[in-house]
Amino acid sequence: MSRYMESVSEQVLVSRSARGDEQAFGVLVERYKGMLYSMSRRLMKDPGRAEDAAQESFIKAWAALPGFKGESKFSSWLYRICYNTCISELRKRKPEVELDEAMGVPVEGPVQEFRNRDIQATIQEEVSKLPDDYRAALTLYHFNGLSYEEIAKLTRKPMGTVKAHIHRARAALKTRLLERVGWDNLKEVMWQ
């Protein structure tokens, strides 16, 4: 990849890619692979399937680029493709579950020793148990940095639903964190 191509603006790269310039598209892949893989990894959970979904998203983007009119940001457009790819892949696999059902599995109770790193690991683990829609909304908000409005547009869901999903997911995570770690441990770690 040439130095020159790396410094070319995104807009130029996008329009060149739309005309079939593979080198330009290669720069975009390089730029967005981490973002797209992380996103699909969080939605799909399984690393292998996440990589397949990220790859498929790039291929779909390449094919659809001539139709990209630049009305939204290129990144948002790419996220939408990735979201659709992951969600349709997830739908093939298993039926949707409700939040209470997914998070209702009892835990063994607070552990003895705890560190800050463990709090994050616990939360991440609980995130992976969330129903797909909740996990997707949470990922798009916190990881991709999209607003409620952008998420609603991208997922074709009412904004109220998106907001409710995110709020309920965070509340469920908070409850699980308390159950699994225990307040005494948390207090010690957080306020040390």
Partner 1 sequence: MNCDEVKRSLQDYVTRELAPEDRRVFDAHLVECGECQRELALMTAVVSTLDHQPVLEPRPGFSEKVMRSLPRQRVFLLSPWWSLVLAPLLAGLVWLFRGQAARVLEAALSRSGLSQVTVPTLSLQQAGIAGLAVVLVGLAVAVGAGAYAWQVYLRD
Q: Which single residue is written with the structure tokens 């074709």? A: 156
Q: Give the whole-angstrom CA distance, residue 61 versus residue 46.
A: 22
Q: Is 58 a residue that touches partner 1 (CB under 8 A)?
A: yes
* Among the residue ranges 20-28, 70-78, 87-95, 151-159, the one whose residues contact partner 1 (CB under 8 A): 20-28
User: What 8-state DSSP symbol labels residue 18?
Assistant: H
Q: Quick check: 134 and 168 in contact, CB under 8 A?
A: yes
Q: Is 59 in the site for partner 1 (CB under 8 A)?
A: yes
Least distance to partner 1, CB of residue 116, Å? 9
Name which of 91 and 187 has its Cβ closer to partner 1. 187
Q: Dihedral, CA atoms, 142, 144, 150, 155, nearest 10 degrees?
A: -90
Looking at the Cβ atoms of 119 and 159, the one nearer to partner 1 is 119
**55 interacts with partner 1 by CB under 8 A:** yes
In the shown chain, the binding pattern of residues 119 to 138 toward partner 1, with x for contact by CB under 8 A and - for none, equals xx--xx--x----------x
Instruction: Check binding of 173 to partner 1 (CB under 8 A).
Output: yes
Q: How far is the CB of 171 from partner 1 (least distance, A)?
A: 8
Candidates 92, 94, 108, 190: give the one binding partner 1 (CB under 8 A): 190
Q: How far is the C-alpha of 45 from the C-alpha of 129, rounded, in Å?
A: 10
Q: Are 123 and 117 in contact (CB under 8 A)?
A: no
Contact assessment for residue 186 and residue 176, using Cβ atoms and an 8 Å cutoff: no
Q: 136, 155 in Cβ contact below 8 A?
A: yes
For residue 62, state whether it binds partner 1 (rule: CB under 8 A): yes
Alpha carbon distance 7, 161 (integer Å) = 40
| Amino acid identity at 19 | R
- What residues make contact with partner 1 under the rule CB under 8 A? 19-22, 25-26, 29-30, 33-35, 37-38, 41-42, 50-51, 54-55, 58-59, 62-63, 66, 119-120, 123-124, 127, 138, 142-143, 167, 170-171, 173-174, 177-178, 183, 186-187, 190-191
